[in-house]
Amino acid sequence: MQPVLTDNTVPAAPLLPPQSAAETAAARAAMVARLEKSGELGRGPVREALLALPREVLLPHAYVRVSGPGADPIDWRLLDGSHPDDRQEWLELIHSDESILLQRDREPLDALPRGPVTGGHMTSMSTYTPATVEALQAMELGSGQRYLELGPGPGVSLALAAAITGPGLATGVERDGHMAAFAQRNLDHLGVGAEVIEGDALEGHEARAPYDRIHSGIGVPCVPVPWVEQLAPGGRLLTTLATRTPSWPGHLLVTRTTAGTVEAVLRGRPRGYRPLLGYRWLTALDHRARIKADPGTARSTPLAPPPDDAYGFWLAAAYLAPGVVRDFQAETMTIVAPEDDSWAVTGPGNGTVRVHGPRDVWAELEDLHARWEQAGRPERYRVDLRDSSGGQHVTSGAGPKTLSWTLPPLAAVPRQTP
């Protein structure tokens, strides 16, 4: 599918030579085969949509980071999919499992300069494909369903959803006006019948409610009330719950029964969506050199480093050991509380941990792990979204040994003005 220019602006989608259609179709087929082989993609409408959708129309350019971690300002390189010198690298990138970086500092997207550029931070990107596949399959999206995408960015998952639901049923709400216009123009080129509304995703889109499926491409600390109110009976809502640490995200699936009852289940996952603009994540990066120079004082510990896939434990740690973040680049498990200038480094050897600072981070994890085991090593948690106090409460079950906490209010998150 080739876009048609109607004015003198830079095209919203790359003008590729006619022979490129077979090449891009082959790239899509290879992408789908890779996702099937990994077990992330099953047979069904999501697979068919991935095979059919020319994603190059939605991702006509891509930033590549040139600078290493911690660099400021950051050096980037913009790949232009319509330029022959960029084409192969761009084509491989947009069909990879990487997130595609598209916009710096909410910039206009009509005439971005190809090549090296310095400065700025990414404000919009596409979700990496395995996460998109996981979300669409988990929602059990089907033909004829009304679909709402919150924070669609360039519209990849919105386009896939529209290909499944049918035209006129898929709506996206995008806060950034430049990105909303960019996505709509590209979606119109595809002809999938999806619409992007410029607005605050936290408010949903009441005009077309109720929705059978709602998907949030942004992480939120708790569930905005309008999202739940706009969910139809029999509907599903999927979002990432963002904590201050990017290390241990949670996926929340909300369902409204045909009788109208709302049920919500929270699970830890290895990946999640970035939080909404204005939400500040903790980082271990600034402490990395100091930790390497002084890992801390060694002491014995009964707690072996919990495995990475103990998602139920690590999700609880994000809430019940607040203010900590893991440095996944470290040689051994390293947990940092950057605001307390404290850290814990496992080893050397089994049964030993090194701790530094006024806060014994590892002692907190030891205590939490014991409580998690007493609670039955839960991997899923129930979330009460309709508490009379207005809070949203999480619990692993019933009884005195249950793990529980309250989600932080949405009002605590600073909102970025347009």
CB 76 within 8 A of CB 104: yes
User: Which tokens belong to 334?
Assistant: 């390293």
Q: What are the strands of the beta sheet with 211-220, ordered from one edge?
A: 194-198, 170-174, 147-150, 211-220, 231-241, 250-256, 262-268, 380-384, 393-395, 404-406
Query: If phi over 0 gives left and psi between -120 and 50 gives alpha, with beta otherwise, what is residue 150?
Result: beta
Tell the residue number behind the tokens 């924070």, with chain if given. 151
Cα 75 to Cα 50, 126, 165, 357, distances in angstroms: 32, 20, 40, 34
Strands (E), 14-60: none
Q: Residues 67, 96, 99, 124: which is the catalytic one?
A: 124
**Coil, strand or helix at 73:** coil
Cα 390 to Cα 153, 217, 226, 363, 403, distances in angstroms: 30, 24, 14, 33, 20
- Report the amino acid identity of residue 201: A
User: Which tokens belong to 124?
Assistant: 């919009």
**Coil, strand or helix at 72:** coil
Q: Determine whether 124 is an active site residue.
A: yes
Rg (CA), the chain: 23
CB 55 within 8 A of CB 102: no
Q: Residue 214: which of 263, 149, 130 has the closest Cα?
A: 149
User: Which tokens belong to 350?
Assistant: 């089994």
Say if residue 348 is preceded by a cis peptide, omega within 30 of 0: yes
Nearest-angstrom CA–CA distance, 137 and 348: 42
Q: What secondary structure letter does DSSP report for 275?
A: B
Secondary structure tally for the chain: helices H, strands E: 10, 20
Catalytic center residues:
124
